[in-house]
Structure 1
Amino acid sequence: MMGHTHALTGAAAWLGLAPVLSALPLLNESSRFIDTGIMANAMSPAELIAGALVCAGAAMLPDLDHPSATIAQTFGPVTWVLSKAVNWLAGGHRGATHSLVFAVATGLGAHWLANTYPIGRDIMVVLLIGLALRAIGIGIPGNKAGSAMVNIGLTAGLFAVFMSFTVGYAWLGLAVGVGCLIHVAGDCMTERGCPVLWPMAVKFVLPWKIGIKTGQKFEQKILAPVLSVAVVGLLYWRLMPA
């Protein structure tokens, strides 16, 4: 799947799952929920939106093994060099990073970072928000420098808003893990599949006749618009008063 499709599926997955996942212990940092033991639907609107953006950005992480992917091009030579290294370590594109092991390890790593190093947590959140905005195509068509400035401005603005609403990030590891996992699930629906149970080499893949052809008309003209509508619909459903 293409970058924007992965990002949209990540956002949709979080918006769909967050109210259920918020029932997990310690997912919200607000003491009033911990004291009462009531965790279901504990996320504030700001946390829900922040989680959707983070999950959308995290849904790009498995493609760090592809030097030509959106994530590898997002932060210039730094991410390109990192992508080349990950590509080699992972055994090529759709190798180790497209697996359950990677999703779980990345989620646990993000959870540890969120609870141990606040500065590192904030850097990760900012990078994932910027990656999500880049993936869904926010910018100036045909103007890379202008698009980069728009991305930086929006990312900084959104992070400042989340800070003003005192957004907690106890859910960060879960959002990152879900994003990575939804990426793997999406790529399993394409013609190439993924080694979900890596290091086992077997790939989970749909038959060629029904698998999604990456970058072709169905993904660009049908799937992406449907996912966009789904994200907007889920946002409305979650945020509008009953």
Structure 2
Amino acid sequence: MMAPSHAATGLLTGVLTTAAMAPVMAVGPAELLAGAAIGAGAALLPDIDHTESTVARAHGPVTRGLAHGARWISVEVYRRTTTPKDTAADGAHRFLWHTPAAAAATGAAVGLGAALSGFLLGMVLWFTLGLGLLGLAQNLRRGRRRKQLMSWPVVSFVSALGAAALVYGGVAHGAHVGAVVAVGMLTGALGDGLTRSGVPLAWPFLVNGRRWAMIGVPRSARFSTGTWPERVVCWGSLIAASVTGLALV
């Protein structure tokens, strides 16, 4: 599972995307923390199409229900847009929600909601905090303590506390939140493009007659999940995010 590395890279891009908003809005420690949390969770969102993923487990029945719905949508979109040259597949995991188009659409919807209401920003923070926390918690050693910390009631409760602290602390809400979500989702999709399978980054455009062409880095540079290159990406992103955040505060 790439959950820890997805969360770590999303955390880094969340900080960087939020910092890039400085010319048009005030960016302080609260905004950087919120951006990190949203980015970490958003990077896991492409896996909402898998009912046993970290995303599906993060908030119990809420995220499991969303995962089933997202999987159904992915299958339906695949069935209606596939071409004769596409490789036969079920269209469920690593299809629609791993596309830049899905990231842009989700980011636009979230950005609109966050611009309209601080409450909606709080809900986005609660949701993404849970995803990011559960993803990063998988770096902990296996055991009873890890199992307790990773249970969805604990994750949801801690996420609610964190979201409330940020909202009541005056974190800015606005359309920039959607940009952080979109970049985070794209970061997660690109991360999967480093692995053996690749992702449909060109959808809905055709690549050699295929709408669902699986694209990634050159095959010689790809790696399997759980191997040392993934750990380097994970810990390198966490260190870079920490250094960048401290430098910006």
Is the structural similarity TM-score above 0.5?
Answer: yes
Which has the higher mean CA deviation after the structures are superposed, 111-120 or 227-236? 111-120
TM-score by length of 2: 0.80
Letter in 2 for 1:79: T
1:202 paired residue among 185, 191, 213? 213
Deviation at 1:59, TM superposition (A): 0.9
**Once superposed, which parts of structure 1, at least 4 consecutive aligned residues long, lie more than 4 Å away?**
138-141
Distance 1:202 1:232 in 2: 36
| 1:3 is the counterpart of 2:14 | no
2:2 and 2:185 map into 1 onto residues whose CA distance is 14
Q: Is the 8 A contact 1:141 1:147 kept in 2?
A: no
Identity, in percent, stands at: 29
Structure-1 residue corresponding to 2:27: 43
Task: Tell me whether 1:67 sits opposite 2:51 in the alignment.
Answer: yes
1:167 aligned to 2:151?
A: no
**Can you list the C-alpha shifts for 1:6-38, whole angstroms capped at 9, x where unaligned?**
111111112233322333x5xx3xxxxxxxxxx
Following superposition, the deviation at residue 186 of structure 1 comes to 1.3
Aligned-pair distance for 1:157?
A: 3.0
- 1:124 to 1:20, Cα distance in 2 relative to 1, 3 A: closer
Of residues 56, 63, 66, the one that matches 1:82 is: 66
Instruction: Verify the 8 A CA contact 1:191 1:207 in the aligned structure 2.
Output: no
Q: Residue deviations 1:35-67, cap 9 Å, x none?
A: xxxxxxx21111111111011111111110112
The reply to whether residue 192 of structure 1 matches residue 197 of structure 2 is: yes
The question of whether the paired residues in 2 share the 8 Å contact of 1:14 and 1:175 is answered with yes
Q: TM-score, normalization: structure 1?
A: 0.82
Residue 214 to residue 84, structure 1, CA distance change in 2 (3 Å): same
1:182 aligns with 2:187: yes
Contact 1:67 1:80 in 2 (8 A): yes
Go from structure 1 to structure 2 and tell me whether the alpha carbon gap of 1:212 and 1:237 turns closer, same or farther (over 3 Å shift). farther
Equivalences for 1:13-24 in 2 at 5 Å? Answer: 13-23=13-23
Residue ranges of structure 1 left out of the alignment (5+ in a row): 29-41
Does structure 1 retain, via aligned residues, the 8 Å contact 2:50–2:67? yes
Q: What CA distance in whole angstroms lies between the structure 1 residues aligned with 2:72 and 2:150?
A: 30
Q: 1:189 to 1:152 in 2, by over 3 A?
A: same
1:12 is matched with 12
- Corresponding residue of 1:38: none
Over aligned residues, Cα RMSD in angstroms?
A: 2.2
